[in-house]
Structure 1
Amino acid sequence: MSAAAPPGLPAKMHALVRAFLAEPGAVHAAVAQFGAPAHLVFPQVFAENLERLRVELAARVAGFRICYAHKVNQSRAFVEVAQAAGVGIDVASAAELDSALGSGFAPGRIEVTGPKGEGLLARLVGSGVTINVDNVWELERIAALAGPGVRVPVLVRVSGFAGTPVSRFGVPVARLEAVVKVLVAERERIEFRGFAFHLDSGEPAERVRAVESCLMLTEQAYAAGLTPSVLDIGGGFRQVFTADAAAFDAYVHALRESLLGRGEPMTWGGNTFGFHLEDGAVHGTPVFHKYANIVDARTMLADLLDTGLEAHGGRTIARIAAENLLDIWLEPGKALVDHAGITVARVEFVKETADGSTLVNLDLSRDTVTPADQEVMVDPILVPAGMNPGADDGAVGVFLAGRLCLERDLITNHKVWLPRCPAPGDLIVFPNTGAYHMDLSAARASMHSVPPKLAVVQRSGTFTVCRDVDYRHEGA
C-alpha cells in the first residue's frame, strides 16, 4: 500500500505563467542574465484581468471608470498596459503621480487617494487630477489653495458604515454634515464628483451596506444643491491563490491536527498561525484565511452590481446608478495583478536543525517576498539546476529560510513539501506575488539590494524577458 500523499497547497496559476515555468531553461536563463533573486511580472496577464472587469461593467452600466491602484506594484509594465488600455490610475504619492504622468496618463485620468500633506495638496490643486479627499482638513486646504477661476475635482471618501470595523481612513458617515457644508460654501472652487469608499474587507455584505450608505448620502447632497455624478466603490476585490479548495481544507485540517500533537510537526517555533489551543481543541481563524478564497474579482464585481437593494424597491445597484446618472468608479489593484507576478530565488544551501527539521536557505529575505505579517500559503515550485532533476527520494517537508542574520527571517513558518530535497543552485519560484508582496517591504538589511523586476512577454509562442523599466507596451 502506498503512503498517503503529504498535505499540499497547490497554487492556481495562469496558463501563460505555467508555460513560462515549463519552458526548458527559461527561468534559469532569466536569472543568469539579470540576477537572482528576481521578481517577474506578466503584463499580458494584467491586460486579461483588466478586460474581464471591463466586460462586467460594460454589461451593466453606461458610465464607469477603472483606476488601476498603482500602489499594489511599482511595475512600469503594469502602468504602461493600463495607460494603453485607456483606463484611469489611482496614485497615492508624489512618486506614483510622476510614474503615471511619465507613462502618458493625462491628469484627467488620474485619481489621487491616501493621506495627503500640504505639499502634495499644493501640487495637486489646479493640476486637473481628481482628489479623493480623506478628511475635512484636506477639503478645507484644497479650497484655500485653489486660485481664482480654479475648480478642483474631488471625491469624498466616507467610512464608519454599520457593521464595518473602524477605519483610520475617510470621513465618518455620522460627520458628513461638516463636509457638505464645506462643499456648498466652496462650490466655486470645488467640483464635487461624488462619494467614495474603500473597505479593508472582501465581505460582500459590508460592501453592499457601504453602497447603500453612499446612495443615501448622494440623495442628501442633491437636497443640498450639489450635483454628484460618481459612486466610487473602491478596490479590495479578492485574489484566488489556491488551485484546489479541497486540498487547502485538507492542509488546514492537517495543520490543526499537528498543533494537537498528532502527525508530523508542521510549523516552526510553535507558530499557531492565529489558532489557539483550549480544552484539547484548536479554535480560531487562521491569519492566512484570505488564501481560502475561491471567488474571483470578476464574480465579486458582478455579484455586487447585481445585488438588489430593499430600500430601492429591489432594484439592482447597477440599475440605481444608471437611473441616477451615476458613473461607477473603482480602484482595483490586487484584482488586476492576480497571477501576473512571481518571485524567483536561488537555493544557497540545505541544513538540518537540532530538532531534525530541514532548512532550505534562499538568497532572499522573508520581507522580499511577503509583507512581514503575512505568510505565503501556496506551495512554491522547485526548478532544478541544469537538465538533471536530481535524486528522486520522494516528497520532502522543508522550511524555507531567508538570508538575514535574524531568527525571524523564515520565509515559510509552515512546512512545505517539495518533490525532492533541493540542492544549491536550484531555483524556488513563489507564485502570485504581484500584489504588494514585491514592493511593500523589500528589506535592504545587510546592504542587500532590492531584487530586479523583469517583464515577461510571449509573442508568437516565444518568451522574451527584459527589465521592467525597459518595457514598452506593443503599439505604444
Structure 2
Amino acid sequence: MTAAVSPGLPAKMHALVAEFVATPGAVEAAVAEFGSPAHLVFPQVFAENLARLRGQLAARVAEFRICYAHKVNQSRAFVVAAHAAGVGIDVASRAELDSATAAGFTPDRIEVTGPKGEALLRELVGTGVTINVDNLWELERVAALAPPGRPVPVLVRVSGFAGTPVSRFGVPLHRVDAALTLLAGARERIDFRGFAFHLDSGEPAERVRAVESCLVLTERAYAAGLSPSVLNIGGGFRQVFTADATAFDAYVHALRESLLGRGEPMTWGGNTFGFQLENGAVHGTPVFHKYANTVDAERMLAELLDTGLDSHGGRALAQVASENLLQVWLEPGKALVDHAGITVARVEFVKETADGSTVVNVDLSRDTVTPADQEVMVDPILVPAAAPVAGANRGAVGVFVAGRLCLERDLITNHKVWLPRCPVPGDLIVFPNTGAYHMDLSAARASMHALPPKVAVTQRSGTFRVCRDGDYRHEVA
C-alpha cells in the first residue's frame, strides 16, 4: 500500500559508512565475497568515537582510563582497534578475556566485570588483571584465593543509590562497611583500587548522585586505612540513532494516530509498543523511547565531568576527582561502536498478507539484528540489485520486514517502514547502526541457520577494503 504521506525514520550515519553504502557495487561486492546476511564493522569509526571521548577526559582530568566494554560486540576488529589506541578493555567472561589477550592486551590493561563464579575467580587471581567485584561473596573468595605478597587489584561495584531503580548487581550501599572491614583486613592479599558503578539509565541526575555516593564511600575508605585511587563511572553512555528529531517526532505522532484508528495502519498485529489506549487517547512511554535521544556520548560525558557537585561546594566533578588524586575510569561499549556497524541482508521474496499489508522477507532472523525484544526505530536502507526487475514499483511504499524463521514473531520490523520503492528479490536491505548489541546479544542458530559472518571495512586513500573480521590487522594511517 502506498501512503499519501510517508513518515520516515532516517538513520544517523557516520560519513564513512554512508559513503560505503552509497558507493556503487560496494555493498553487493562485500556480500558476494562473504555471503548474505553479513555484519559489517568499521574499526576506523570506532577509533574516532574513542578519540572524542578521550579528548573530553584529557581536557578535564589529570588521570583517566577508558576500558572498552567487549560485551557490546564480539568483533575482533574492535578489540584490535582498542588495543592499538592504547586503552584498556572490560571483559565479562573467560572467552572475552581470551579474545583480549589474543589481541595483545596485557593484564594491567584488563578489567574483569560482571558476575563471576568460583572457576573464573580461581583463573583470575594472580594474573594481574583488575577484578571488579560484584558482591561480598566474590570479595571474600578473592581474599581467600589470593597469594600473600601478591595483592590482587580490585574494584568494588556498588549500587542502591537514591532515586535509582534497584539493581541485581553491586554491593548495596548499606553493606559497604562489611566490604571495607574485609578489605582492611586483607591488605596483603587485595590491592583495593576504588569504587565502581554502572547504571542502565542514561539520566544525568542519577549518575551524579552515584558519583557523589562513591566519593562519600571513598572518604570512608580513607578513614579505614585504605588508599583508593580510582572512581569508576561505568558505561551506559547514550547513542544517537536518528538523523532528524523532527521526523522522528512526526513518525511517532502518525503511529499514535494509527493506534486510534486514524490514518494508515502502522503496526503489525495490533502491537502498541508499550503505549496504552484509554478513553480515546494514547498514553505512556513507548519501548523504543531511547531512539528519540539527541545527546551523544561525547556531550553526555563532557556535561557530566563539568557538573558541579553540591556536596563539594559546587566544584565540577572533574575538578574534585583531580584534587583527590582519583583516576576516572569508564567502560563505554555502545558509545564506542555507535555508527560503526551495519547489517546487510538479501530480499528473498515480497508478499501480500490477508489484511493487505506488504511483507518483505529477507534471509536474516530478527534475533541476529535486534537486541532482545526491542524495536529498532530507524529506517533500513534499500540497495537495489544490479539488474532490477522490470516494472518494479517506483513509488514510496510502506512495508513490514520479515525474517526467515517459520515463526510468527520473526518480524524484524513490527512497525511499518517506508522504502523508496517496493523491493524485489535480489535487492539488499541495510540495517544501520547495529554494532551495539544488535549483532550478538540475542543471536541464535534457530532452524540450524548459520550466524552471519562479520566483515571489517576500512578505507585507505579513498578505496574501501573488506576482510573477514578475524583477519583484520590495524594499519597506521
Which residue of 1 is the match for residue 449 of structure 2? 448
Which residue of 2 is the match for residue 433 of structure 1? 434
Which residue of 1 is the match for residue 261 of structure 2? 261
Which residue of 2 is the match for residue 473 of structure 1? 474
RMSD over aligned CA atoms reads 1.2
Superposition deviation, residue 389 in structure 1? 8.1
Q: 1:318 to 1:389 in 2, by over 3 A?
A: farther
Q: Is 1:418 the equivalent of 2:419?
A: yes
Superposition deviation, residue 172 in structure 1? 0.7
- The one-letter amino acid of 2:452's match is P
Conserved 8 A contact 2:43-2:77: yes
Aligned residues: 475
Which residue of 2 is the match for residue 67 of structure 1? 67
Q: 1:241 to 1:389 in 2, by over 3 A?
A: farther
Aligned 1:279-428 pairs, distance under 5 A: 279-386=279-386, 388=388, 391-428=392-429
SS at match of 1:299: helix
Which residue of 2 is the match for residue 220 of structure 1? 220
Q: Deviations over 1:49-108 (max 9, x none)?
A: 000000000000010000000000000000001001100000000000000000000100
Superposition deviation, residue 174 in structure 1? 1.4
SS at match of 2:319: helix
Q: Deviations over 1:410-432 (max 9, x none)?
A: 10000000000000000000000
Please, which moves more after superposition, 110-119 or 148-157?
148-157
- The one-letter amino acid of 1:432's match is N
* Alpha-carbon distance in 2 for matches of 1:79, 1:454: 14
* Alpha-carbon distance in 1 for matches of 2:273, 2:293: 17
Superposition deviation, residue 439 in structure 1? 0.6
* Alpha-carbon distance in 1 for matches of 2:371, 2:339: 17
* Alpha-carbon distance in 1 for matches of 2:379, 2:146: 52
Conserved 8 A contact 1:159-1:172: yes
* Alpha-carbon distance in 1 for matches of 2:353, 2:431: 24
* Alpha-carbon distance in 1 for matches of 2:251, 2:87: 40
Conserved 8 A contact 2:40-2:457: yes
* Alpha-carbon distance in 1 for matches of 2:361, 2:389: 19
SS at match of 1:55: helix
Aligned 1:181-200 pairs, distance under 5 A: 181-200=181-200
SS at match of 1:269: helix
* Alpha-carbon distance in 2 for matches of 1:387, 1:462: 24
SS at match of 2:345: strand
Superposition deviation, residue 153 in structure 1? 0.3
Superposition deviation, residue 277 in structure 1? 0.4
Superposition deviation, residue 309 in structure 1? 0.8
Conserved 8 A contact 2:455-2:468: yes
Which residue of 2 is the match for residue 132 of structure 1? 132
* TM-score under structure 2 length normalisation: 0.98
Conserved 8 A contact 2:90-2:110: yes
What is the percent sequence identity of the aligned residues? 83
* Alpha-carbon distance in 2 for matches of 1:475, 1:338: 22
* Alpha-carbon distance in 1 for matches of 2:73, 2:371: 13
* Alpha-carbon distance in 1 for matches of 2:377, 2:384: 22
Superposition deviation, residue 372 in structure 1? 2.9
Superposition deviation, residue 371 in structure 1? 1.8
Superposition deviation, residue 454 in structure 1? 0.1
* Alpha-carbon distance in 2 for matches of 1:184, 1:223: 10
Conserved 8 A contact 2:372-2:441: no
Which residue of 2 is the match for residue 464 of structure 1? 465
Gap runs ≥5 in structure 2? none
Superposition deviation, residue 169 in structure 1? 0.3
SS at match of 2:269: coil
In the TM superposition, structure 1's runs of 4+ consecutive aligned residues that sit over 6 Å from their partners are none
- The one-letter amino acid of 1:162's match is A
Conserved 8 A contact 1:61-1:322: yes
